[in-house]
Structure 1
């Protein structure tokens, strides 16, 4: 007997086209069941519990994420960008010191003193080492790489010019002075060694500023979620009280307490960290930037002073640069206080920081007075006395000069070095305290958020048990 095929060709007479329809009906029925459950108190409690748990866990997760980012940025300030900025400033300082040192050695005539050679060689060696380290830590920055490449290219050229100048000077050839002046031009010209090292310093300082900004950024998302989560828990407890006339639900109370602790910890911890980081910048990083700039200005002034004499009558441009540099360093009044040293004094927040800056200011005042005397000797044709008044030795009458500008320069440089060391110490302390205020918060927030979610679930579960 022939059997007529069923509609749709499916087994048991069920058409394939009817399967999606059945699934849709099942989904609709399930949705209706959920909506119906939501109209009952147990259903509403389950929804409230799920939402509260989600809010609390999200609060903990976002807090851990945002504070971890800020802790990492604070660590970068302390261990990466600040040291790199300091190293870039040291490259600049070492190059400027090498230039000033070799010019001072030239004034002696003939064979330069061994101390001069040693200091010059040390400056160049340290600068080369720091340039190599900067290249290894450039982190792909095109601006940093460009300046490092420029420094690597120009430094051997500069040292070759200096070596030629010294060789000629040892033989008493006037050509040595010309080579030295040309080497100085290569050092100071736009795009030269000092310009490249300054751009490297600015790039590293900009990176430091970015890390500071990341470390101090306010965790708005975590704050908002914390307020919403805590508000939801308070609302749920109030709802529980109004429906049962019971004041406390232990699970919900524990969840609220844990959530409040995380929120309070977040606000207080971040505020403390931000305050400490602000302090590390104002009384550490910013002070060091001003002091490093002052040290470089001192070295350049010393180089200009020496080169004015090396030029023997044609050093007017060096004298002009010396005067403008001194104005930027200490103000227009030779007997007053101004410029970068005044800024450094204002930024120093304790006696340990102010004392070396005060010493540097007094030494600069003495330096300017002695420089005026030396220039008067040179302008009057007494070159021998002028040289002795700058680097020491005997004047044209055979008398030993005991008060030189070189003594003042050494004292200024040593005082500023002491001030930098003090500000570096304060920076390290404040930055480390700022980072420390955030260290435990990510793990603590995650743990307390899990406990709060568990407490909320237990509190809701206890209420649900009353309906069974």
Structure 2
């Protein structure tokens, strides 16, 4: 028989009655739970549930925090450091292209094939690295913007260089003006953009290092709390039963202790290795990159001093009225080795040359942690001193009006400043290769120390939680 739907006041009364019955049932269930918790079996169930929850939470948080740090360590090795290295290579390629273009111009209309090939290789390398950086740079608006800016300016620069070459082949003085304009674009727009790109990628590397080496305090805190709770539960069991050990609680405590020790030791080893890869790898690479860039810029200024022939001067400041490119050369040398003077004895090769404290070469030597890393830096320092001596001789000839002799001492073969620069660049490249290997070795050791920890923590935590429940279950069985 069907009943008509209840409406109006009768329906409201029925709904109220139903709601009242539900509240009463809920209160009754809560009261039963409270009553059960006041008995020993009830307390044991609550203790078992809390212990299992603590151990599971410890394992889950450990797996989560270790996974985050392992991801960051992987990013250091496979993503952020390679991107930082590529950004440095873009800067070096652009600076070397500018330096090589000036050298080719000084050689006259018939520029050497190897010089031209070097310039084209630099431009091609920079273009390819830009494409690669654009494909791999994620989430950094600054990096993307600088890549776009370099991509737009590079064809402008190369077009001006080609105009300078065409005029130079015809013996027209306008070629020098084109080259100076190209150099202005390189120095004032292209290289600053490349420098900002390098800074952005290096900052990202620093963030990944910080995340990979930060201590997992939440996991450590939960591990200590879980062990303390298991210890208190074991003591309570001993006081009430006179049993020395509850095997289930003992197994749970052992599993938790293994995870906690594994976490502390594994992360400590990873942190130590990653810090070593940073201090004696990434930081060394950063300083060596700066040193190589300064040597390239010094070489470019040296060449342009002869190209401009005093047409470009400093317009203000303490160096007002002086040749702008010669001032630039001195500034780059000061950053590279600490001063623009040279000791003739050390530069001649009889004594070991020393860079001034705080200079790039001095810092690179301090950061190198073995003789293989220090040796090329020491030899580069000697070659820079040699370069300074030869530069002074070339400047003396140019100032005396012997342009041809000065040019020969700058772009000639044996005994020229070009020979010294090439050797410095080669030695710094050798030092960079060594430090890159050192970085990779230490960083791989660091991320290797975390291998298996996340999975192991999860498995051991599950076993520990099950053991805690079994331990409480044995006690509960005594009440049945």
TM-score category, normalised to shorter length: over 0.9
Following TM superposition, by how much is the alpha carbon of 1:15 offset from its aligned partner in structure 2, in angstroms?
4.9
What residue in structure 2 maps to residue 26 of structure 1?
Answer: 25
What residue in structure 1 maps to residue 467 of structure 2?
Answer: 455
Partners of 2:193 and 2:26 in 1: CA distance: 70
Secondary structure of the equivalent of 1:17?
helix
Match of 2:332 among 303, 325, 328: 325
1:111–1:169 Cα contact (<8 Å) kept: no
1:312-366 superposed Cα distances (whole Å, 9 cap, x missing partner): 2435110010011100110125334121000000000001100000010000010
In the superposition, the TM-score normalised over structure 2's length comes to 0.91
What residue in structure 2 maps to residue 250 of structure 1?
Answer: 247
Following TM superposition, by how much is the alpha carbon of 1:170 offset from its aligned partner in structure 2, in angstroms?
1.1
1:357-382 superposed Cα distances (whole Å, 9 cap, x missing partner): 00100000100011001100111111
Judged with a 3 Å threshold, the aligned counterparts in structure 2 of structure 1 residues 15 and 122 are, in CA distance, closer, same or farther, namely closer
Q: Does 1:365 align with 2:385?
A: yes
- Segments of structure 2 that go 5 or more residues without pairing to the other structure are 1-5, 313-322, 344-353
Following TM superposition, by how much is the alpha carbon of 1:109 offset from its aligned partner in structure 2, in angstroms?
1.1
Q: Does 1:283 align with 2:295?
A: no
Following TM superposition, by how much is the alpha carbon of 1:27 offset from its aligned partner in structure 2, in angstroms?
1.7
Q: Does 1:35 align with 2:42?
A: no
1:141-160 superposed Cα distances (whole Å, 9 cap, x missing partner): 21111111110110000000
Secondary structure of the equivalent of 2:245?
coil
Match of 1:337 among 348, 355, 365: 355
Q: Does 1:235 align with 2:232?
A: yes
Partners of 1:175 and 1:361 in 2: CA distance: 38
Following TM superposition, by how much is the alpha carbon of 1:173 offset from its aligned partner in structure 2, in angstroms?
1.2
What residue in structure 1 maps to residue 371 of structure 2?
Answer: 351
In the superposition, the TM-score normalised over structure 1's length comes to 0.94
What residue in structure 1 maps to residue 197 of structure 2?
Answer: 200
1:244-265 superposed Cα distances (whole Å, 9 cap, x missing partner): 1111111111100000000111
Q: Does 1:424 align with 2:424?
A: no
Partners of 2:236 and 2:417 in 1: CA distance: 82
- What does 1:405-444 correspond to in 2, within 5 Å? 405-444=417-456
What residue in structure 2 maps to residue 274 of structure 1?
Answer: 271
Partners of 1:362 and 1:15 in 2: CA distance: 99
Partners of 1:286 and 1:31 in 2: CA distance: 62
Partners of 1:71 and 1:377 in 2: CA distance: 60
- Segments of structure 1 that go 5 or more residues without pairing to the other structure are 394-401
- What does 1:112-191 correspond to in 2, within 5 Å? 112-189=111-188
Following TM superposition, by how much is the alpha carbon of 1:138 offset from its aligned partner in structure 2, in angstroms?
2.0
Match of 1:384 among 380, 404, 407: 404
Q: Does 1:45 align with 2:44?
A: yes
Following TM superposition, by how much is the alpha carbon of 1:9 offset from its aligned partner in structure 2, in angstroms?
6.0
What residue in structure 2 maps to residue 398 of structure 1?
Answer: none
Following TM superposition, by how much is the alpha carbon of 1:213 offset from its aligned partner in structure 2, in angstroms?
1.0
Secondary structure of the equivalent of 1:381?
coil
What residue in structure 1 maps to residue 81 of structure 2?
Answer: 82
1:82-112 superposed Cα distances (whole Å, 9 cap, x missing partner): 0000000000000000000111111111111
Partners of 2:295 and 2:311 in 1: CA distance: 22
- Shifted more, 160-169 versus 324-333: the winner is 324-333
Secondary structure of the equivalent of 1:438?
coil
- Shifted more, 15-24 versus 344-353: the winner is 15-24
